[in-house]
Amino acid sequence: MGLKSGSYVAIFLGMYFFMGATFAVIMLMDSLEAFLHCVRLHWVEFNNKFYKGDGYMYTAYSFDSLLGK
């Protein structure tokens, strides 16, 4: 709307509004990225405390073991 009006004041205010909205979106995305990384690290560290690893040894799949060689 600011560009169609031809008014320098409207163009000036429209550009600052656009730059402010763009900056707000980028800051929100960056904050969300930091928050999710922090939550992921807490989840990984928390679950590591209770992992025992009691199970059976991993053996890779092989056709030789299936064919009896």
Confidence of residue 4 (pLDDT cuts 50, 70, 90): low
pLDDT at position 22 is 97
- What is the greatest pairwise CA distance in the chain? 85
Which two three-digit tokens encode residue 41?
């690290």
Chain-centroid distance, C-alpha 54: 32
Which 8-state DSSP code applies to residue 55? S
Phi, psi (rounded to 5 degrees) for 48: -65, -25
pLDDT tens across 12-58, in order?
888 899 999 999 999 999 999 999 999 998 888 887 787 777 888 88
pLDDT at position 69 is 65
d(CA 15, CA 51) in angstroms, rounded, equals 54
